[in-house]
Amino acid sequence: MPQPDWNRIRDIARRAEEIQRSGKMDRETWRELLSEAFLAARERPDLTSFLSTYAESAWIQELRKEELKPLRVG
């Protein structure tokens, strides 16, 4: 199993903090950061949990609902 890209994860964490501090964190930005972090973490969601700090609860609930949707085939 490939190792997480810790440098990239740290960079994403710094960017998230800066965006939050500047008041520019929105749903789309948060989702983009989450996607980047998931790839940097080599698809290990436990390593992306630091981003929950920057999310509104509605964004997390929306994400959970999406994860629970059954896959549609054909």
- Is 28 among the domain residues? yes
Task: Enter the pTM of the model.
Answer: 0.84
> How many angstroms separate the most distant Cα atoms in the chain?
44
Q: What is the C-alpha separation between 10 and 25, in angstroms, rounded? A: 18
- Is 50 among the domain residues? yes
Q: What is the DSSP letter of 53?
A: G
- Is 21 among the domain residues? yes
% of the chain beyond a pLDDT of 90? 78
SS (H, E, C) 14-42: HHHHHHHHCCCCCHHHHHHHHHHHHHHCC
In this prediction, the residues of the chain whose per-residue pLDDT falls under 70 are: 70-74
Domain around 37: 6-68
Residue 25: predicted pLDDT:
98
Residue 32: predicted pLDDT:
97
* Tokens describing residue 3: 């190792």
- Is 74 among the domain residues? no
What's the total number of domains in the chain? Answer: 1
Q: Over the stretch 25-44, which tens digit does the pLDDT of each residue have?
A: 999 999 999 999 999 999 89
- Is 37 among the domain residues? yes
- Is 60 among the domain residues? yes
